[in-house]
Structure 1
């Protein structure tokens, strides 16, 4: 039996042509699957009258994936009875979340505004890079606290939308 040698020129032509196109197809499929699985987002909004407690005013406009908790500064009361921000955070999946202490939830007039498709729109593909011995591209989701959305935290379960997308596409293209 004879041995075949692949010349550097042939390797470069394969990487620049058929292999590159295959990587582009797989990456596009992974991005589409990631977008399909990406959780929606949500934004904390306070009542527009300027009377929100300081911790809620601080959270106003905070936008996170729907499976990630809002991060509110802890609330306290000054000696004169004025609400103030204390060190640390309370976590809430929505305004008036039962996990919040009463000084954060009682009388809260805030809302959580759903933002369908936000993480899907934040997902993109990097250009294919061809180097000697390697052809690669990536699917990237750039969003505030996206690592918590993917893997979870001590407060929330991860959605694993990118990991599951990679598994589905890998199984589809496995030969």
Structure 2
């Protein structure tokens, strides 16, 4: 029986040689994630005395486009329509909302096509012995809910699709 023992430090040397390629792949995943990331939308009230208190509180709330805004329910709607303390609305005047939250609402949404994408970053790979780690991060309000979905909203899977796309290209 023959046995082979690599020279001490060979695995770490190979890892250092491979690290630049892993960095390229990490950058490709980040770029694909930016391409797949949904826009964000921001709730904007008119900012005047006629704005409902719940909508004033929602003003400036930014969420990924595939998710719903979380807006307070008026006390009347809680008492008479069985609404909880908050409603999840796709947009101002959402037909699924209660009347006190939607009727005569003058609020608007403002879309930002790069709202999530601008917060996706590839970080320098780290090499520790024979281990190489590439990291892509995404920061923002409710990005995890956007990626995986909620009980009411579908998953965007922008990070998951990015990994799938890059892996598919590498297999060719």
TM-score (norm 2): 0.90
Q: Distance in 1 between matches of 2:27 and 2:2?
A: 39
- Give 1:147's aligned residue: 144
Q: Does 1:12 align with 2:12?
A: yes
**Secondary structure of 1:170's match?**
helix
Range that drifts further, 124-133 or 98-107: 124-133
Q: CA shift at 1:49, angstroms?
A: 1.5
Range that drifts further, 90-99 or 3-12: 3-12
- Give 1:98's aligned residue: 95
Q: CA shift at 1:174, angstroms?
A: 3.0
Matches within 5 A, 1:39-78: 39-77=38-76
Q: Distance in 1 between matches of 2:136 and 2:49?
A: 41
Q: Distance in 2 between matches of 1:139 and 1:108?
A: 40
- Give 2:80's aligned residue: none
Deviations 1:78-132 (A, max 9, x none): 9xxxxxxx96210111100111101100010000001111111010012211112
- Give 1:83's aligned residue: none
- Give 1:36's aligned residue: 35
The alignment covers a number of residue pairs equal to 167
- Give 1:81's aligned residue: none
**Secondary structure of 2:27's match?**
helix
- Give 2:121's aligned residue: 124
- Give 1:23's aligned residue: 22
Q: Distance in 2 between matches of 1:162 and 1:54?
A: 36
Give the CA RMSD over aligned residues: 1.9
- Give 2:104's aligned residue: 107
Q: CA shift at 1:77, angstroms?
A: 3.5
- Give 2:132's aligned residue: 135
Decide whether the 8 Å contact of 2:14 with 2:130 is kept in 1: no
Q: Distance in 2 between matches of 1:8 and 1:35?
A: 41
Q: CA shift at 1:51, angstroms?
A: 2.1
